[in-house]
Chain A
Amino acid sequence: MAQPILQLIDLCKNFGGVVALDHLNIQVEKSSITSIIGPNGAGKTTIFNLITGIVNRSSGKVYYNNEDISGLKPHMIAEKQIARTFQNVQVFPQMTVLENVMVGRHVKSHLGFILSSLIPPFFRIEEKRIREDAHQCLSIAGLSHLAQKKAGSLPLGNQRQLEIARALAVEPKLLLLDEPASGLNSRETYNMGKLIQKIKEMDITIVLVEHDMELVMDISDKVNVVNFGRSLASGDPSEIQANADVIAAYLGT
């Protein structure tokens, strides 16, 4: 088996009395597209929130490149080159598309409060570089023509693309996509699939949470099925499609 970039080991999370994750184990191989699927409320988004430090785990470990990253703050996770998108799109609506992506260059730039206050932007070398890098990320996501638009005014499909462009600006090694195709029409979903594959070719490992089965089966190298916070099955798409437990969980018995 190839080197795992991400390992979730015995991960548990309780919200009050509700068990969201129950001794979950998932492995993500480097340079793969690994999908996590499961019925609504199975705990998929919670997995992402735990990896990125937005919520704290109850017990268990998260290893990233064999380094224990469980319990780190969200901004430290970003510094480790792990980026994510959100199921309920969270672009910065008041900022332009370009500025949104420029925020993504935060960890790759360094001027603090004092120097930023003292030096005007047109004398800052860093500012110019941030802008160029952001333009490049926009062009990968196919949004260059919308650079100066307010992010809040974009349709949902473009906002989802923007979230990906913004995440790419972090220069991630690992990219977590939370339902990137939700709310998109079939044409947009197809383009999203192409974009995800393009990102994989940039040697970025992708973890995908998605409900669109066609998309998942089409692009995933490996699929993990989660139900009631537990791993139900994992394997390549054809194995999962034939798995009796999975069919039962999805169709109900």
Chain B
Amino acid sequence: MDHRNYIGLVIIAVIIAFIPTLVKNDYYIGILVFTALNCLTALGLCLLMGYAGQISLGHAAFFGLGAYSTAILTVNLGWSPWIAMGAGACLTAVIALIIGVPALRLKGHYLAMATLGFGAIVNIVFVAAVGLTGGPSGISGIPQLNFLGIELNTDKSFFYFSWAVVILGLFLALNLIHSRVGRGLRAIHDSQEAASSLGVNTSKYKIKIFVLSAAYASVAGSLYASFINYIDPGPFDVMHSVLLVVMVAVGGMHNIWGAMIGAVLLSILPEFLSALSDYFGGIGIAYKSDYDMLIYGGILLVIMLFLPGGLYEGIQRLLQASRNLINRFKMRAFS
């Protein structure tokens, strides 16, 4: 069982290696970079939501804190982007700790409201602290990453790099899930009382996973800033937090692979739809990015109604059903 997960990592690596030979268009490679960054954030959020059972509607803020840390430290102070990324993750972790200690005493809707409020405040700071963040016009001229002497200045090189980070993130998350810590977190999800009666320090564990989850988002944010070289507060608003939750929920909260599926699907879908609408443009159907939220909302609604376990569970059920069908045919063939 454990090993299957790690085989999954290898499969992803192989797919990633082959994608640039199939997808030649730089624009689409760029989309796949954003997909990777969403995967990374969704992974962290899945550890928090799916495994520990604590919701966060403020993860775009952590994503933004990472991006702005990189931007400010590299552009204003001339730091190396790598050190800026580490410093950003540390800063985000400290902020998550400060927010998490009081907020994680709350449960369910109240925790959702608290994190939502936090996300909104951070976004306002990005907009209003003009001296530091450049306000609505943002920060430009963020330097590229240089990985072991290779300048990550093309979409393709950054594509490989970002997905390597995702695979690393997945590897770490899988290790964590299949450990006493991971089981402790899942126990908290199911019953805090029982978990604590078995020696799991529930409040400490919730705070730690919140901080770790924020650090995942922060690293994704730093990579985002380094990739597009320019940031403004737009992508770090509350809607993005909601979108991240939708990704995790649509894919299937209770499994890390579900979060991956959700993040990939919802990152690629708008592009797929607009490509489709170009194709059908002749008959007067055009897809605009304004419709994104409509599509996301619709998908979430359908999934929650008919497949509460998310797409991952749906795929599993489908596999099981087809296995049953094959077995039945085999039985009939023998009899």
Contact = CB atoms under 8 A, between A and B. Distances in A.
Contacts of A69: none
A94 interface: yes
B199 A94 contact: no
A116 B181 contact: yes
B180 A75 contact: no
Given A54-B193, A103-B187, A117 B199 contact: no
B332 to A, nearest CB: 29
Nearest to A48: B197
Contacts of B199: 75, 78-79, 106-107, 170
B168 to A, nearest CB: 11
Contacts of B143: none
Question: In the complex, which range does the number of interface residues on chain B fall in?
Answer: 35 or more
Interface stretch (A83-91, A224-232, A234-242): A83-91
Contacts of A113: 176, 181, 208-209, 212
Contacts of B179: 111, 116, 121, 124, 127
B3 A103 contact: no
Contacts of A116: 175-176, 179-182
Interface string A36-62: 000000000000000010100000000
B175 A93 contact: no
B100 to A, nearest CB: 14
A196 B180 CA distance: 28
B290 interface: no
B240 interface: no
A75 B200 CA distance: 6
B53 to A, nearest CB: 10
A32 B186 CA distance: 34
A91 B209 CA distance: 22
A90 B208 CA distance: 24
Nearest to A78: B199
B201 A75 contact: yes
Contacts of B174: 120
B184 interface: yes
A103 B198 contact: yes
A117 B215 CA distance: 14
A126 B179 CA distance: 9
Contact of A94 (B172, B173, B178, B190): B190
A5 B201 CA distance: 25
Nearest to B178: A121
Given A116-B175, A117-B172, A109 B180 contact: yes
A83 B197 contact: yes
A92 interface: yes
A18 B201 CA distance: 30
A209 interface: no
B156 interface: no
B196 interface: yes
Contact of B186 (A52, A75, A78, A92): A92
Interface string A112-153: 110011111110101100100000000000000000000000
B256 to A, nearest CB: 13
Contacts of B194: 86, 90-92
Contacts of B186: 92, 94-95, 99, 103
Contacts of A130: 180
Given A92-B190, A106-B184, A75 B196 contact: yes
Interface string B145-186: 000000000000000000000000001111110111111101
A160 interface: no
A121 B2 contact: yes
A78 B3 contact: no
B191 A103 contact: no
A104 interface: yes
Contact of B180 (A78, A92, A111, A118): A111
B284 to A, nearest CB: 48
B6 interface: yes
Contacts of B254: 94
A166 interface: yes
A16 B151 CA distance: 66
A105 interface: yes
A153 B189 CA distance: 17
Nearest to B3: A122
B259 to A, nearest CB: 16
A99 B187 CA distance: 10
A106 B2 contact: no
B193 A90 contact: yes
B265 interface: no
A-B pairs with lowest CB-CB distance, top 3: A78-B199, A107-B199, A116-B179
11 contacts: A52-B197, A54-B197, A75-B199, A84-B197, A86-B194, A103-B187, A106-B200, A116-B179, A116-B180, A120-B171, A130-B180
Given A75-B201, A102-B180, A106-B198, 7 more contacts: A83-B197, A94-B190, A103-B187, A113-B176, A113-B209, A116-B181, A120-B178
